[in-house]
Structure 1
């Protein structure tokens, strides 16, 4: 499968950033699992892509950009999110991250 991205929808911040995105230099197919094949291989590939995203200095703006796109128009892993993460996002409002993407603040117990 050859992955093509509409250049009019390419996130400009990826090219304008001081630090390059973590995905640069990796095989683009890593970020576009072939869901029609199904099975555990898809989950392994998505997990691999998400692990790369987790180390990226541009994770936050990439995730924000991904959530601003129509979930039906954007495929693949963007900002550590899958199509389903974006499609079934609670509230589907811009600028609000779903609970499983928020960094939990652990309260210290009073000792």
Structure 2
């Protein structure tokens, strides 16, 4: 039986097929005290990995459907997922820095 939409079944090994497999996880998750320039650089590098990933669509759907709050998933940032889902959030919650 298939799950609705691109969300994977629990026994699906989509994460094993990800282009990020073997990459440094720090590329996909923000460290403490990251400044804007560092964040932009890290996110651009992570999205470059995702750009050629065979499971990018499934990965993004997983993050959106499970409400993943942290990291780059399927080539999207936390802020991008919140915006695409139409969630209303405060500046602080969105991680916007002045």
**1:69, CA displacement in angstroms?**
2.2
What is aligned with 1:88? 83
Counting only pairs closer than 5 Å after superposition, residues 1-111 of structure 1 correspond to structure 2 as 16-17=13-14, 20-34=17-31, 36-70=33-67, 73-89=68-84, 91=86
- TM-score scaled to structure 1, two decimals? 0.60
Structure 1: 5+ residue stretches without partners: 1-10, 93-111
- Alpha-carbon distance change, 13 to 36 in structure 1, aligned in 2, over 3 angstroms: farther
**1:77, CA displacement in angstroms?**
0.3
Displacement over 3 Å in runs of 4+: 11-15
- TM-score scaled to structure 2, two decimals? 0.67
Q: Which has the larger radius of gyration?
A: 1
- Alpha-carbon distance change, 43 to 13 in structure 1, aligned in 2, over 3 angstroms: farther
Structure 2: 5+ residue stretches without partners: 1-7, 88-98
Secondary structure of 2:39's match? helix
Is 83-92 or 53-62 further displaced after alignment? 83-92
